[in-house]
Amino acid sequence: MSRQRRGRSDRYSRTNFFMSQHIVQHIVRIIVPCFLVGAAISGCASVYQLPPAPAVGADDPRAVQPERPSVATHAGTVAPGYVEIESGIERDANADHIYAEQAPTLLKFGVTSRVQLAVLVPIARATGVKAGIGDVNVGVKWRVLEHHPFWSDIALLPSVTFSTGGARGSGSTAASLLLINSRTFGPVSVDLNVGRTWRTGDGATVPGTSTFWTAATSAPVRGPIGWELECFGYPGTGGAAGSVPIVAILTGPTWLVHRALSLDVGMIAPIVGPQPRAVYVGITTNLGRLLF
């Protein structure tokens, strides 16, 4: 499956945050409204005769498939043997005047028509912390369902985060599982993600388990210019390393410079909780068939 849409390369690391005893409530609150909005978009697409999304089988394997800038990822995978790279810079500003910068680079390798291997290597620094490599993440995305009349496309993304970052990381090894639902309404794409993470350690510095949800949409504006809008959240945690819930929005334009190259820029703003305000800029490029 190949789709020209926008996503965020550091979404693996962002799944490793906060847990909740009420995850089902959060899923229902987000997914149900998104399906209703999606249905409305679909109706509008029919009325105004918006062009349909391209068929999966007709997609160009060199067509770039950004998983940035959004926290969410889509169910699409890079074509077998093809390699795609995503990278960017994000600057975070906390309310306590502590600043942080990160430059995540995601390498994506197409394994089969429905399986993709991804390796995330982040560079990070913060107030009082020197720049260096953060926690490295390795994940495998498997699209288990495709073109279903109700569920559309569904993928699973298990991943492992290694404690390689020292002060720039969580200080623990983590295993995560992300459930992805992707669908299109005319030229508009909608991606819904929910995830859970399990960490090593005694829970004194980071939660032993955490959860995550997000709903993202991407739509064309004019020609190669598109727009990304997303709402994401990390439900609150308990225990020694507990935290209050976070809900935030991400939004900004995207630019498809070439079929194999896209750019993005935008901002993140908190709605609830201590989410830092942030600005970001990034690039995604498909290098072509380099393997097999």
Q: What is the pLDDT of residues 150-208, one digit of tens each?
A: 999 999 999 999 999 988 988 899 999 999 999 999 999 999 999 999 999 877 778 88
* 58 has a pLDDT exceeding 90: no
Contacts of 101 (CB under 8 A, 6+ apart): 89, 90, 91, 92, 124, 125, 126, 131
Question: What kind of fold does domain 11-289 have according to CATH?
Answer: Porin (2.40.160)
* Cβ contact 205:171 at 8 Å: yes
Round the average pLDDT of the chain to a whole number and report it: 83
C-beta of residue 65 within 8 angstroms of C-beta of residue 84: yes
Please list, residue by residue across 170-188, b when 16 or more beta carbons sit within 10 angstroms of its beta carbon and e when fewer do. Answer: bbbbbebebbbbbbbbbbb
3-state SS assignment for residue 221 = strand
Residue 148: burial class (beta carbons within 10 Å; 0-12, 13-18, 19+): exposed
Determine the longest span between alpha carbons in the chain, in angstroms. 56
Question: Tell me, what amino acid is at 139?
Answer: G
- Give pLDDT, residue 285: 97
Is residue 218 within 8 A of residue 251, CB to CB? The reply is no
**Which pLDDT belongs to residue 206?**
83
pTM here is 0.80
pLDDT tens digits, one per residue of 228-263: 999 999 998 777 777 889 999 999 999 999 999 999
Mean pLDDT across the stretch 83-112? 94
Residue 66 near residue 254 (C-beta atoms within 8 A): yes
- Each domain of the chain, given as residue ranges in start order, spans 11-289
Q: Exposed (0-12), middle (13-18) or buried (19+): which is 189, by Cβ within 10 Å?
A: buried
Spatial contact of 63 and 259, defined as CB atoms under 8 Å apart = yes
Where residue 279 falls (left for φ over 0; alpha for ψ -120 to 50; beta otherwise) is: beta
How confident is the model over 19-57, as pLDDT tens digits? 333 433 444 444 444 444 444 444 444 444 444 444 333
